């Protein structure tokens, strides 16, 4: 017995030795991958959605109005709760729920989206300032570089998969309606639910937004390069669209490895940027409390501010820095600067003629008593006075007497709003153009094709 006891004890002691050694050697386990994940994970949002199935063609009414649960991932891009994800994650959903790394959950609202580039901005109202994802660049990616995909794979929240960059500049056609250009290809496992989540490098910086997988293939996934995505994000966060304010600054993102700058190309004559003294060639370093490296940062700095609010801006001008004061104006103030917003009757007629040609409908201002649409959540709208038989508007359900309250991400309160949409340089990229109309007390929506 004694010998057996001693032998067992020796075995136990021998087994304990590696444990003691491992406790003293934990630093070897903290690899660059571990550190990268630790840096980025707090800024990942797990998205769960619910939408109503389209069973309009079903023979059995019992199957109608079925609810479908979906999943995806998002990236926190602003501490106030703005999150970027893929448009297909939020397309047509009835509700969105976002869960963060710490387990806190929030209802989310869709703020804006770009169907063509498959990106969308959603927002949650958190009671605290959120962690923003560290931003990298896709300008200097290397084949074979280690990358990590983080996301809500198959509903398993905060899943991590690792791999490498397999190829760059891939063009991928998913179906007849969706195609992508210039994607990153990776062999890090990307699964349903990873869409919209970050592809990060070993510095824990986001360098891509996971977007697609190759059906029937293993370990072939794709991500939108972050530099491309940030240009679209800047448009989706445009203060002109979201806050109805205007800064009058036109700039360019310059990204090449460690060089990341937002450079002023021009300012609109007599607009807020020009009045602040911003000049062509200025590199905007900081706006308010936001350190600026691209247009998306600049829009973030201006977002949520009211007309007349002042934003201190620091720029690099040549070899020196300069501080200027930018005072935002209301978007309607663009009329006095000779922009595309117009106010005379001939321009109103021109906008109506263009809408008739494009969509087969004419519009009129609401009587003053109806401008605020009392009892609705809309500030106003335009009444549909005529609908062309078999035109796009008629074929997509718009009727005479409807009140058009929105197109794409913009409200349609005035002819100026309508003109802005009709003459938008990227109008074709919005096709099909989503519309919202009031019919009685009911809000209806649909899509109009843009053919011109």
Instruction: Give pLDDT tens digits for 200-217.
Output: 999 999 999 999 777 667
Classified by CATH at the fold level, domain 341-448 comes out as: Pdz3 Domain (2.30.42)
Q: Using DSSP, state whether 113 is helix, strand or coil.
A: strand
Classified by CATH at the fold level, domain 146-229 comes out as: Thrombin, subunit H (2.40.10)
> What's the predicted TM-score (pTM) here?
0.69
Query: For the purposes of burial, counting CB atoms within 10 Å of the CB of 443, is it exposed (0-12), middle (13-18) or buried (19 or more)?
Result: middle
Q: How far apart are CA 180 and CA 159, in angstroms?
A: 25
* Residue ranges covered by each domain of the chain: 38-124, 146-229, 237-333, 341-448
- In the prediction, which pLDDT does 131 show? 96
Backbone angles phi, psi at 379, to 5 degrees: -80, -20
pLDDT digits (tens, 9 = 90+) for 261-312: 999 988 888 889 999 999 989 999 999 999 999 999 999 999 999 999 999 9
% the chain with pLDDT above 90: 47
Radius of gyration of the chain (CA): 26
The answer to whether residue 60 scores a pLDDT higher than 50 is no
The answer to whether residue 70 scores a pLDDT higher than 80 is yes
- In the prediction, which pLDDT does 33 show? 95
Among 73, 267, 236, CA closest to 154: 73
Q: Which helix (H) or strand (E) holds 417?
A: helix 415-422
pLDDT digits (tens, 9 = 90+) for 239-273: 988 888 889 998 999 999 999 999 998 888 888 99
Task: Tell me the average pLDDT of the chain.
Answer: 83
Which numeric CATH code is attached to 38-124?
A: 2.40.10.10
Q: Which of 16-20, 63-67, 99-103, 258-262 has the lowest mean pLDDT?
A: 16-20
Q: How far apart are CA 185 and CA 398, in angstroms?
A: 43
Q: Please give the CATH architecture assigned to the domain spanning 237-333.
A: Roll (2.30)
Partnered with residue 162 across adjacent β-strands are 148
Among 78, 206, 74, 196, CA closest to 130: 78
Taking residue 436's Cβ as centre, other Cβ atoms within 10 Å add up to 19
Say if 237-333 and 341-448 have the same CATH topology: yes
Query: For the purposes of burial, counting CB atoms within 10 Å of the CB of 450, is it exposed (0-12), middle (13-18) or buried (19 or more)?
Result: middle
The answer to whether residue 77 scores a pLDDT higher than 50 is yes
* Catalytic residue positions, numbered: 88, 118, 195
Among 111, 106, 66, CA closest to 90: 111
């Amino acid at each position: 017995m004694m010998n057996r006891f001693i032998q067992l004890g020796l075995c136990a002691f021998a087994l304990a030795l590696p444990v003691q050694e491992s406790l003293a050697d934990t630093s070897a386990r903290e690899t660059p991958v571990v550190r990268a994940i630790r840096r980025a994970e707090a800024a990942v949002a797990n998205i769960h959605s619910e939408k109503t199935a389209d069973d309009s063609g079903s023979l059995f009414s019992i199957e109608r109005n079925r609810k479908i649960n979906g999943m995806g991932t998002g990236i926190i891009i602003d501490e106030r709760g703005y999150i970027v994800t893929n448009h297909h994650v939020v397309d047509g959903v009835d509700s969105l729920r976002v869960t963060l790394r710490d387990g806190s959950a929030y209802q989310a609202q869709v703020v804006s989206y770009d169907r063509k580039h498959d990106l969308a901005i959603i927002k949650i109202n958190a009671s605290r300032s959120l962690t923003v994802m560290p931003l990298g660049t896709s300008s200097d990616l290397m084949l074979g570089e280690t990358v990590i995909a983080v996301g809500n794979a198959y509903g398993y929240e905060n899943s991590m998969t690792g791999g490498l960059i397999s190829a760059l500049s891939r063009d991928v056609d998913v179906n007849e309606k969706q195609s992508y250009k210039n994607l990153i290809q990776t062999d890090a496992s990307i699964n349903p639910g990873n869409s919209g989540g970050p592809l990060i490098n070993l510095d824990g910086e986001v360098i891509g937004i996971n977007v697609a997988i190759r059906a029937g293939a293993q370990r072939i996934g794709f991500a939108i390069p972050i530099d491309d995505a940030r240009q679209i994000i800047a448009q989706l966060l445009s203060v002109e669209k979201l806050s109805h304010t205007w800064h009058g600054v036109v700039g360019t993102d310059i990204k090449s490895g460690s060089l990341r700058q937002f450079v002023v190309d021009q300012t609109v004559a007599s607009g807020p940027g020009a009045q602040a003294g911003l000049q062509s060639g200025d590199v905007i370093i900081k706006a308010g409390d936001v350190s600026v490296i691209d247009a998306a940062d600049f829009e973030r700095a201006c977002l949520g501010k009211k007309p007349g609010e002042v934003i201190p801006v620091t720029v690099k001008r040549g070899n020196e820095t300069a501080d200027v004061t930018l005072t935002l104006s209301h978007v309607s103030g663009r009329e006095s600067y000779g922009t595309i917003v117009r106010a005379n009757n001939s321009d109103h007629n021109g906008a109506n003629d263009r809408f008739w040609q494009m969509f087969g409908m004419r519009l009129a201002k609401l009587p003053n008593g109806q401008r605020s649409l009392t009892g609705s959540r809309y500030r106003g709208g335009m009444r549909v006075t005529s609908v062309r038989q078999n035109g796009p508007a008629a074929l997509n359900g718009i009727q005479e007497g409807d009140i058009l309250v929105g197109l794409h991400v913009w409200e349609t309160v005035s002819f100026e709003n309508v003109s802005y949409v009709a003459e938008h340089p990227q109008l074709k990229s919005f096709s099909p153009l989503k519309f919202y109309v009031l019919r009685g007390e009911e809000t209806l929506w649909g899509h109009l094709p843009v053919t011109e």
